[in-house]
Structure 1
Amino acid sequence: MSLENQPTPLPTQSPMKLHESSGRWQLGLGLSLVTVILWGVLPIALKITVQALDIYTVTWFRFSLSFGILFGILGLRQQLPSLEKLRGTSWKLLAIATGFLSANYALYLQGLAQTSPANAQVFIQLAPVLMGLGAIAIFKERYTLRQWAGLGILTLGFAVFFHEQLQTVLAAPRTYLIGNIILVIAAAAWAVYALAQKQLLQQLSSSEIMLLLYGICALLFLPFSSPINLLTLTPLEWGMLIFCGVNTVVAYGAFAESLAHWDASKLSAVMATTPIVTLIAVWVISRGIPLPITPEELTVLAVIGAMLVVSGSVAIALGKRPHSPRKPGQFSQKSG
C-alpha cells in the first residue's frame, strides 16, 4: 500500500497531568503530625456538641467559621484567589472534592452520635487506607520493601490495639451496626475528597482550595441548619463548638499543605495513628476534666498494639525510595 493511501491518524487527547509532590517530605511529615493531633482530639469536642445541636447546624457552623477565619487571613495577606485563576480551575474536580467532603462531615457526625469517639476513630481509619491505595493506583506512588513491611506491622498493630474495641462492637450489633455502616461510607467519601484535592493542587494552592471548599460547603448546609439553636448553648458547649471550627481550619490546612509536599500513600500511614491519639486524649482528659464522655481503658495488649502501629507508621513515613540515576541536567529531589 502506498503512503498516500494510508489513513490519517486521528489526534489523540493527551492524558491529564497528575500532581507530583514537592519532595519536601520532612515538612509534609511535620504538617501531617499536626493534623493527627488535632483530628485525634476533635471527636471529643464533637461528641459534646452533637448532644446539644443537630449535625447539620454543627457542620454549617464549622464550615462558616473556618471560611471566615481563612478569608480574613488570606485577605490580610492579599492572597485571595483572583477571578482569572478561578476560571482556570477544574470545577468538576472542585465539585467532587466539595461533595464528598460535605458527605464525610455529615456522615461522620451521624456515625459518631450513634457510637463513641473511640469506635468512630476505629472505623474512620478506612479513610487513610483507601486514600493510600488510591494514591498508589492513580498517582503511581510506590512503596519500598521496608515500607511494605511497615504496612504489615501497622496492620498487625491495629488488630492487636483494637481487639477490645472490636469485641465491644460485635457484642452490641444492634446499637453499633448502623452507626458503623455510616462511618464506613464516611471513610470512603473522605478518601475520594482527599485524592481530588491532591489533583486540584495542580491549579490552586492548598489555602485557596480550602477557602473554596469551606465557603461552598457552608452554603450547602445552611438550608438544613438551625442557627437559632446556637442561643441555647452553655459556655462549655460554645467552647467546644468554637474549638471544632478552629480545629477545622488548622487541621485541614495542615493536611492540605502536606499533600503538596509528600506522597499521599505515605501520608495515609501517619494518619492511621489518629485513633491512638483519640483514646489517649479521652483517657487523660477524663481524669482531669469532668466531661460527659466515658474513658477508654487501655490494657497492656492495647499498649503493645499502639507501639506496633507507631513503629509501622514510622517505617512507612521515613522509608525512602532508592535514588534512581539522574539524567544529565536533571535536578535531584528528596523523596519520602
Structure 2
Amino acid sequence: MFACFTALLWGFLAIALKVAVTEINPITVSWFRFMTAGVFLFAFVKIKKPDEWQAMKPFPWLSLVAALGLCLNYVGYITGIHLTGPNNAQIIIQSAPLIVGIIGIFIFKEKVSKRQLAGIATAACGFYFFYHYQHGNTLDQGKALYNKGSLIVFLAAICWVVYAVSQKVLVSKYPVRAINLVLFVFSTFALAPFVDYQSILQMDIGMWLLMLFLGLNTLVAYSFLGEAFKYADANKVGIIITLNPLITIFAMTILAYLEVTWIAPDTLSLPGLISALAVLGGAIIAVKSK
C-alpha cells in the first residue's frame, strides 16, 4: 500500500507540475518544493528523531553530490514537462532506472542475466519508437522545442542517477531521513538566488494550495517509499513505482476527454502507447530480480 500510494503521488505529480509552470517558472516551483519538504522534515527530525541528525558525524560530503544531482533533476524534469508534456516526460525519465542498472553492472559489478539484458534492449527499442512517433506527431514549428524538452528530461534522468548512486552508498552508513534533510536544505539554498519571489507573493489561493501539494508530495512520497522498503522487497516496490507513468497517461487521457481548459491536452497515439508500454515493460524486466 505504501508503494502504491507513492506511485499514485508521482503519477499525479507530473500533471500538477504542468499546471504550476503556467504561472510560476520551473526554478521557483522546484525551490518551493524543496523548501516546504525541508521545513516539515526539519521539524520532524528535530522533535521526534534528534538522534538521527547526531548520527551524521562525520558529515558525509558525498551527500552534497547527491543533493546537487537531485536538485538538477527536479529543475530539469519540470522544465521538460513545461516544454513537452507530462506523458512525454514521464516516459523519458524512465531511462534513469535503466542507467542505474547499467552502472550496477559495470561499476558495482552486479551480476546480470540474459533476461535483464533483454529487458534493457526492449526498453531501448521502446524509447526509440516512442521518440519517433512523438516527434512525428509534433507540428513542424514545435519539433525543435520537443527535441530540447526531451533532451532536458534525459539530462534530468542522468542527474537522478548521480543522486541514486550516491544515495546507495550513503544509506549503508547514515539514516535516510537525515540524508534527505541535507538534500532538501542544500537544494533550497542552492536555488534561492534564482527564485522569482514576486510571483510567489502574487499567487492566489488556488495556486498556494497547488504549490503546497507539490511540496508535501515531495516529502510524503519519499517517506512512504522508505516505509515501503521496510515491509516489502525492493524488487516488488521498484516494479510498482516504475508503473507510475501509466497513472499519468490514464489521467491525462481522461482530462483530454473531459476537455478541461486548465491544462493543455496531452494524449498518446496507439503506436505511442505501445512504445511507452515497451519502455515500462523492458524497464521492469531489467530491474526485476529472479
User: Does the TM-score normalized on the shorter chain lie above 0.5?
Assistant: yes
Aligned partner letter, 2:107: I
Q: Indicate conservation of the 8 Å contact 1:270/1:314, yes or no.
A: no
Secondary structure, counterpart of 2:23 in structure 1: coil
| Alpha-carbon distance in structure 1 between the residues aligned to 2:231 and 2:108 | 14
1:70-109 residue CA offsets vs partner (Å, 9 max, x unmatched)? 22333443355344x2222321x11211112111222222
Alignment-derived partner of residue 29 in structure 2: 58
Note the C-alpha offset of 1:125.
2.6
Q: Indicate conservation of the 8 Å contact 1:146/1:319, yes or no.
A: no
Q: Indicate conservation of the 8 Å contact 2:92/2:154, yes or no.
A: yes
Distance 1:208 1:214, change over 3 A: same
1:86 to 31, 56, 64: 56
Worse-matched range after superposition: 166-175 or 232-241: 166-175
Note the C-alpha offset of 1:164.
3.0
Alignment-derived partner of residue 45 in structure 1: 16
Alignment-derived partner of residue 39 in structure 2: 68
Q: Indicate conservation of the 8 Å contact 1:151/1:316, yes or no.
A: yes
Note the C-alpha offset of 1:140.
2.4
Distance 1:33 1:136, change over 3 A: farther
| Alpha-carbon distance in structure 2 between the residues aligned to 1:232 and 1:49 | 13
Q: Indicate conservation of the 8 Å contact 2:239/2:288, yes or no.
A: no
Alignment-derived partner of residue 69 in structure 2: 100
1:42-83 residue CA offsets vs partner (Å, 9 max, x unmatched)? 121111111111222212211111012222333443355344
Aligned partner letter, 2:201: L
Alignment-derived partner of residue 118 in structure 2: 149
RMSD: 3.3
| Alpha-carbon distance in structure 2 between the residues aligned to 1:169 and 1:88 | 52
1:11-59 residue CA offsets vs partner (Å, 9 max, x unmatched)? xxxxxxxxxxxxxxxxxxx765544432222121111111111222212
Q: Indicate conservation of the 8 Å contact 1:40/1:276, yes or no.
A: yes
Whose radius of gyration is greater, 1 or 2?
1
Aligned partner letter, 1:209: I
Structure 2, unmatched stretches of 5+, are none
Q: Normalising by structure 1, what TM-score?
A: 0.72
Worse-matched range after superposition: 262-271 or 236-245: 262-271
Aligned partner letter, 1:201: V
Alignment-derived partner of residue 293 in structure 1: 263
Structure 1, unmatched stretches of 5+, are 1-29, 321-336
Worse-matched range after superposition: 246-255 or 288-297: 288-297
Worse-matched range after superposition: 136-145 or 199-208: 136-145
2:188 to 211, 218, 228: 218
Distance 1:243 1:56, change over 3 A: same
Alignment of 1:266-285 (within 5 A): 272-285=242-255
Distance 1:139 1:304, change over 3 A: same
Alignment-derived partner of residue 92 in structure 2: 123
Aligned length: 289
Secondary structure, counterpart of 1:81 in structure 2: helix
Secondary structure, counterpart of 2:52 in structure 1: coil
Worse-matched range after superposition: 253-262 or 149-158: 253-262
1:173-215 residue CA offsets vs partner (Å, 9 max, x unmatched)? 3222332332222221111111111111122122111111111
Alignment of 1:233-272 (within 5 A): 233-255=203-225, 272=242
Q: Indicate conservation of the 8 Å contact 1:144/1:319, yes or no.
A: no
Identity of aligned residues (%): 32
Q: Indicate conservation of the 8 Å contact 2:91/2:279, yes or no.
A: no
